[in-house]
Amino acid sequence: MTDFRTPINSPRSGLRMAISEPIFTIGSCFADSIANRMASYKLNTSPNPSGILYNPVSIHGMLAMAAEGMKPAADHYTSGEVVHHYDFHSLHAASSQQHLAATLQDVLSSCNDKLAKAEWLIITYGTTWVYRHKGSGRVVANCHKQPASAFVKELLTADEITASFHKLIAALRAARPTLKVILTISPVRHLKDTLEGNSISKAVLRVACNNIVQSESNVYYFPAYEIMMDDLRDYRFYKADMIHPNELAEDYIWEKFSETWFDDDLLRFLDAWKSIKQALKHRPFHAGTKAHQQFLRATLQRVDAWKHFVNVDDEREQLLSQMKSPEHVGLQEDQGNHSLI
Assess whether pLDDT exceeds 80 at residue 341: no
- Of 184, 65, 46, the closest CA to residue 117 belongs to 46
CB 163 within 8 A of CB 204: no
The pair phi, psi for residue 139, each rounded to 5°, is -70, 140
**Environment class of residue 166 by beta-carbon count within 10 Å: exposed (0-12), middle (13-18) or buried (19+)?**
middle
What are the distances in angstroms from CA 294 to CA 8, 154, 285, 298, 316?
A: 43, 62, 14, 6, 15
**Environment class of residue 205 by beta-carbon count within 10 Å: exposed (0-12), middle (13-18) or buried (19+)?**
buried
pTM for this one? 0.89
CATH fit for domain 23-262, picks 1.10.8, 1.10.3470, 3.30.2250, 3.40.50: 3.40.50
pLDDT of residue 329: 44
What is the sign of the dihedral through the CA atoms of 73, 49, 257 and 182?
positive
Q: For residue 157, what pLDDT band results from cuts at 50, 70 and 90? A: very high
The pLDDT tens digits for 277-308 are 999 998 877 777 888 899 999 999 999 999 99
The pLDDT tens digits for 14-58 are 889 999 999 999 999 888 888 999 999 999 997 778 889 999 999
Strands 180-185 and 219-221, how do they pair? parallel
Q: What is the mean pLDDT of the chain?
A: 90
Q: For residue 332, what pLDDT band results from cuts at 50, 70 and 90? A: very low
Residues of the chain with CATH 3.40.50: 23-262
The pair phi, psi for residue 305, each rounded to 5°, is -65, -20
